[in-house]
């Protein structure tokens, strides 16, 4: 094998690994942004880390498994609010000031903590 080919082979070996690392970093940044936004806009009722408060239900709960409440239900909850149907906490008001891309990072964060809790 010439030096050129071996360098080429090495590059092939490492290229996927390094792009994976970049993805992971983006993912982490997105999730961290999601956590901050969640704490600012949602934790008042849904509790820090989504465990619930006396104002609102836990989101780390099997009811909010992605198959029961897809990401769309999170977008709608933020944009339109929620009429109480699962619990006795009353309605959720729509949350002003959370932009669509911010909603995506909040969803990413909530899915992450749900996954860690073994919800899915």
Taking CB under 6 A as the criterion, the residue among 49, 92, 105, 114 binding ligand HEC is 92
Interface with ligand HEC, residue 60, by CB under 6 A: no
Site for ligand HEC contains 89 (CB under 6 A): yes
Question: Which is it for the CA torsion 86, 45, 43, 82, positive or negative?
Answer: positive
Can residue 34 be called a binding residue for ligand HEC (CB under 6 A)? no
What does the block give as tokens for 120?
A: 């899915």
Stretch that binds ligand HEC, among 7-15, 20-28, 73-81, 112-120 (CB under 6 A): 73-81
Residue 35 Cα distances to 50, 57, 97, 103, 107, angstroms = 10, 17, 16, 11, 9
Question: Degrees (nearest 5) of the Cα angle 37, 24, 58?
Answer: 40
Does residue 69 interact with ligand HEC by CB under 6 A? yes
Q: For ligand HEC, which residue of 49, 78, 105, 109 counts as binding (CB under 6 A)?
A: 78
Q: In degrees, to the nearest 5, what angle opens at C-alpha 110 toward C-alphas 56 and 112?
A: 145
73 contributes a contact to ligand HEC by CB under 6 A: yes
Q: Is the dihedral of CA 53, 102, 117, 92 positive or negative?
A: positive
In angstroms, what is the minimal distance from the CB of 9 to ligand HEC? Answer: 47
Binding residues for ligand HEC, rule: CB under 6 A, are 41-42, 44-46, 55-57, 69, 73-74, 77-78, 82, 84-87, 89-90, 92-93, 95, 98, 106
């Amino acid at each position: 094998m010439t030096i050129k080919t071996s360098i080429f082979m090495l590059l092939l070996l490492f290229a996927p690994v390094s792009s994976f690392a970049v993805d992971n970093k983006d993912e982490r940044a997105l999730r961290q942004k999601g956590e901050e936004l969640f704490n600012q806009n949602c934790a008042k009722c849904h509790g820090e880390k989504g465990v619930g408060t006396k104002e609102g239900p836990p989101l780390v709960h099997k009811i909010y498994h992605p198959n029961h409440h897809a990401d769309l239900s999170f977008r709608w909850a933020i944009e339109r609010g929620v009429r109480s149907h699962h619990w006795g906490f009353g309605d959720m008001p729509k949350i002003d000031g959370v932009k669509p891309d911010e909603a995506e990072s909040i969803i990413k964060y909530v899915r992450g903590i749900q996954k860690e809790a073994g919800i899915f």
